[in-house]
Structure 1
C-alpha cells in the first residue's frame, strides 16, 4: 500500500462514519416520536458498512452499503386520551433506544477522530520525508 492510498482509505472511513453520525442524529431526534409521516411510529435506522477496493494496490476502504430499519416493536404506553391511541388505549412510540444510540454516536465519533488522526500522521510523515531530501 502506498502512502497516498492511506488518504483514500481514511477518507472513505471518514465519509462512512459521517453518514453513520447523521443516522444516529436522526434516530436521537425521533427517540420520543409517536407517529412518523406515514402514521406509524418511527423505526430506528442502522448503517451497514461494506468493504470496497480502493485502487490497484490491494488496499480496501469502507462504504455504506445500506441503511436498514430496526424491525423491533415500539414501546407501547397506556394513554387512552392520546389522539393516536389504538382501540385498547395504547400509544406506540418509536423503537429507538437513547442509550444504544449514544453508544453508537460515541463509537462513530471516535472512529471519525481516529481516521482524521491517521490522515494527519500520514501528512506529517510525508512532510518529514520531503524535508529529509533537502
Structure 2
C-alpha cells in the first residue's frame, strides 16, 4: 500500500469521526429539550452509521458514512404537571439522550480521530524522510 492510499484511508476516518462528534454534540445540546406542544415528542437521539468500503484499485478499506438516523428507543416520561409540554396526565416526554453514554461516545470518537491524525502525520513524516534521502 502506498502512502497516498494510507492517507486517503485515514482521511476517510477523520471525516467519519468528525461527523460523529458533531452528531454527539447535537445530542448533548438537546439532552433537556422537550416538545413545544403538550404531549408531543421531544428531540430524539441521533446515531451515525458507518460501513467499510473497499477500493478495488488500491485494496484499501476506507470508512463511509451511511447516514444519521434517529434512535428509536423509548422516550422516558417524567411527571411534571406544570410543564407546558405535559400531556393530559401531567407527564412530559423527555429526549432519549443519556449524557453519560454520549460523553463516552465522544471520547471514543475523539480517540479515533486522533489515531487517524497520527497515521497521517506518520505518512507525512515518512514522505519527508524519503525526500531528504533523495537529496
Unmatched runs of 5 consecutive residues or more in structure 2: none
Give me the whole-angstrom Cα distance separating, in 1, the residues matched to 2:24 and 2:31.
Answer: 10
1:16 matched to 2:16 = yes
1:64 matched to 2:65 = yes
Q: How much has 1:70 moved relative to structure 2?
A: 0.8
Which residue of the partner structure matches residue 105 of structure 1? 106
For the residue of structure 2 that corresponds to 1:62, the secondary structure is strand
1:6 matched to 2:13 = no
Give me the whole-angstrom Cα distance separating, in 2, the residues matched to 1:118 and 1:96.
Answer: 32
Task: Please report the TM-score for the alignment, with normalisation by the length of structure 1.
Answer: 0.93
For the residue of structure 2 that corresponds to 1:107, the secondary structure is helix
Query: How many residue pairs get matched?
Result: 133
Cα distance change, pair 44–36 in 1 and its aligned pair in 2 (3 A): farther
Q: How much has 1:54 moved relative to structure 2?
A: 3.8
Unmatched runs of 5 consecutive residues or more in structure 1: none
1:41 matched to 2:42 = yes
Task: Please report the TM-score for the alignment, with normalisation by the length of structure 2.
Answer: 0.93
Which residue of the partner structure matches residue 115 of structure 1? 116
Which residue of the partner structure matches residue 91 of structure 2? 90
